[in-house]
């Protein structure tokens, strides 16, 4: 966990799922797919939601913390693989190789209760810059997904604030993506809100999906972690959260489609990301001849035939890159043109490309690495479709969402739904110098709204 004099850990519990019928002793072994394995050198997913303090009858928080712990345990019963650990097997081959799987051994997930009595909801919610203390609300900071063989795959920290609560989760990225993350969060809040009823709206689908040509376990051509795991050097970055009202998003979409004559073909998100891309490129003061790329994480559950279930408990995400664009061209041609480039990158994305990339990966494994963005590029994760504001634990909707230190590089952009229908929040992580210039960008800030 990040250290901060403002945050004090009050207790830490290891939560294990209830015994399951018909499970072999020691638990099942779930083989990891290329989608999972390529993220072993990436930090944990870290997201958290901000609430105002529950009603006065729970002012001492004892009952609230107990309810949260009990419902977290009940949710873990449904998502029991997340209580396991990664299992690393050195295979008797020449040259050396290894396989990495998820072992459902019920070693447990961490539940942490913390206190930050000097931090207010307003100091987080109404600050354009994300206060550094927020990073201390997250467990397992700076852990890589590979570390899941010795660390919990899932941990949560409930931090009492002066007038609110921050509930954060850290989830191993080699076993789950953002869809799984928010499905777990939604299930946990549903169980807590219902008074402990273990039924959830979207029960997880446990079995992994593999190409027909890929027989698990996948053999990695390495003798040990030093051959493929890199411990990142985290760059000095700062972050801001920009809120765009539903009206601002609709205005931006209408504007870029009118400019390009595309009759609504360019989506709201593509329109908004074009504004971010142009604004950040301007703030970076790049050489006009320097190429800039925009990488977008695209969910693949619905893009396969047959489609994967929404509840698929694993990674199903592909990176699509808009490339061969110079900084000068981007700034000269403007928002509509930038949005069209993003639109075409997504439109050209096909299932055949997904299958080809996965097959190639099995033959020649490669890995994504944390915080390695080029200083001229952007990478966007998250989605405005994730159910963030439906996480009512029994005392009302959250008022904000923030992320932890994981994967924070110069150029990381994370998208969330906003608190009102149709609104979008964008978290932008950049070098201090670039971010300082960005918040002075008039074209961007005219579209930003207060919450």
**Cα four-point dihedral sign 40, 308, 419, 189:** negative
CB 420, CB 245: distance < 8 Å: yes
Determine whether 392 is an active site residue.
Answer: yes
**Main-chain dihedrals φ then ψ at residue 246, nearest 5 degrees:** -60, -40
Of 70, 77, 392, 441, the catalytic one is 392
Tokens of 360: 């190639």
Per-residue 3-state assignment (H helix, E strand, C coil) for the chain: CCCCCCCEEEEEEEECCCCCCCCCCCCCEEECCHHHHCCCCCECEEEEEEEECCCHHHCCCHHHHHHHHHHHHHHHHHCHHHHCEEEEEEECCCCCEEEEEEECCCCCEEEEEEEECCCCHHHHHCCCECCHHHHHHCCCCCCEHHHHHCCCCEEEEEEEECCEEEEEEEECCCCCCHHHHHHHHHHHHHHHHCCCCCCCCCCCECCCCCCCCCCCCCCECCCCHHHCCCCCCCCCCEEEEEEECHHHHHHHHHHHHHHHCCCCCCCHHHHHHHHHHHHHHHHHCCCCCCECCEEEEEECHHHCCCCCCCCECCCCEEEEEECCCEHHHHHHHHHHHHHHHHHHHHHCCCHHHHHHHHHHHHHCCCCCCCCCCCCCCEEEEECCCCCCCCCCCCCCCCCEEEECCCCCCCCEEEEEECCCCCCEEEEEEECHHHHHHHCCCHHHHCCCECC
Determine whether 173 is an active site residue.
Answer: yes
Of 31, 173, 377, 410, the catalytic one is 173
Cite the active site residues.
173, 392
């Amino acid at each position: 966990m990040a250290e901060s004099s403002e945050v004090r850990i009050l207790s830490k519990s290891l939560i294990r799922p209830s015994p399951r019928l018909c499970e072999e002793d020691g638990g099942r072994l779930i083989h990891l797919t290329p989608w999972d394995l390529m993220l072993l050198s990436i930090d944990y997913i870290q997201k958290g939601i901000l609430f105002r303090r529950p009603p006065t009858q729970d002012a001492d928080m004892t009952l609230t913390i107990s309810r949260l712990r009990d419902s977290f345990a009940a949710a873990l019963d449904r998502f029991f693989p997340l209580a396991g650990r990664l299992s690393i097997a050195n295979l008797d081959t020449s040259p050396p190789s290894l396989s990495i799987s998820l072992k459902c051994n019920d070693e447990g997930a961490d539940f942490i209760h913390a206190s930050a009595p000097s931090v207010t909801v307003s100091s987080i919610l109404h600050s354009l810059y994300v206060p550094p203390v927020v990073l201390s609300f997250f467990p397992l900071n700076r852990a890589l997904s590979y570390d899941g063989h010795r660390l919990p795959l899932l941990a949560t920290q409930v931090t009492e604030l002066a007038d609110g609560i921050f509930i954060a989760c850290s989830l191993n990225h080699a076993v789950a993506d953002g869809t799984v993350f928010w499905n777990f969060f939604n299930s946990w809040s549903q169980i807590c809100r219902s008074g402990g009823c273990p039924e959830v709206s979207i029960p997880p689908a446990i079995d992994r999906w593999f190409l027909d040509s890929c027989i698990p376990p996948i053999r990695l051509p390495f003798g040990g972690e030093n051959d493929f795991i890199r411990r990142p050097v985290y760059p000095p970055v700062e972050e801001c959260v920009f809120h765009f009202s539903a009206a601002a998003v609709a205005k931006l979409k209408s504007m870029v489609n009118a400019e390009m004559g595309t009759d609504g073909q360019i989506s709201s998100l593509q329109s908004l990301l074009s504004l971010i891309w142009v604004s950040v490129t301007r703030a970076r003061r790049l050489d006009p001849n320097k190429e800039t790329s925009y990488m977008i994480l695209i969910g693949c559950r619905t893009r396969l035939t047959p489609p994967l279930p929404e509840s698929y408990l694993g990674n199903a995400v592909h990176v699509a890159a808009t490339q061969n664009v110079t900084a000068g061209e981007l700034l000269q041609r403007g928002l509509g043109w930038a949005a069209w480039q993003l639109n075409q990158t997504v439109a050209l994305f096909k299932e055949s490309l997904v299958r080809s990339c996965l097959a190639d990966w099995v033959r020649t494994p490669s890995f994504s690495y944390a915080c390695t963005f080029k200083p001229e590029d952007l990478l966007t994760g998250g989605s405005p479709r994730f159910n963030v504001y439906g996480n009512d634990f029994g005392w009302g909707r959250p008022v904000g969402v923030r992320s932890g230190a994981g994967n924070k590089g110069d150029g990381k952009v994370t998208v969330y739904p906003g608190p009102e229908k149709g609104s979008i929040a964008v978290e932008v992580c950049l070098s201090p110098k670039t971010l300082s210039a960005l918040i002075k960008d008039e074209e961007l800030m005219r579209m930003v709204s207060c919450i």
